[in-house]
Amino acid sequence: MIRVLLADDQALVRAGFGALLNSAPDIDVVAEAADGAEAVRLAVARRPDVALLDIRMPGMDGLAAAERILADPRLESTRIVILTTFDIDEYIFEALRLGASGFLVKDTEPEDLLNGVRVVAAGEALLSPNVTRRIIAEYAGRPRRPDPVKRLGGLTGRERQVVALVGEGLSNEEIATRLVLSPATVKTHVSRAMVKLRVRDRAQLVVLAYETGLVTPGWMR
């Protein structure tokens, strides 16, 4: 069973999402929270596989709650998905930077919500190539505290190529076609790069590719 924590300040939203998630035979909502502080407490108590956090909640918001959860060594196996009302939210990029595995829009289709929880629970990032490109286009050019380029020093030349293409929003299959490799080989390169760069998932790999200058937005070239 995939254990889920659901945090949203709107009771109706919690009820609707909770009923949908519990209707799946492989998903169990083990806790519900009305604010970020409660979400953090319940995450520690119930150790969910996936925490669905509304980005805007009173008191401690979803971003602050995500930061607390992701920084807690007791919760290293808990994956974060941010819930947002808007297709692109100004906090999404920061959430990915902190280690969130992706985000879902609240009006997403029911099946997409269930599949999204399964994808994240399996350790993948909930970011389609199209969504990745849009986030990058909207936020990657904003000034941030850059990580030193030497962070990439441990990568092989091929791993750098693969990380750069991940940063551009390409899927493993698209990267395989571009580099004339098998998808399995690309997946191996991605996995090794994540270990070397100490990132949790593909979403953080995209962020790092831009922060280190390995990839730059088109308008900045």
Query: Whole-model pTM?
Result: 0.68
Q: Tens digits of per-residue pLDDT, 139-160?
A: 555 555 555 455 777 899 999 9
Question: Domain 157-212, what fold?
Answer: Arc Repressor Mutant, subunit A (1.10.10)
What is the residue extent of each domain of the chain? 2-137, 157-212
**59-105 pLDDT tens trace:** 898 989 999 999 899 998 999 998 887 655 567 677 777 788 888 88
**CATH number among 3.40.50.2300, 3.40.50.720, 3.90.180.10, 3.40.50.300, domain 2-137:** 3.40.50.2300
Mean pLDDT computed over every residue of the chain: 83
Q: Identical fold at 2-137 and 157-212?
A: no
pLDDT top residue among 92 and 128 = 92
List CB contacts of 168: < 8 A, sequence separation 6 or more. 133, 136, 215
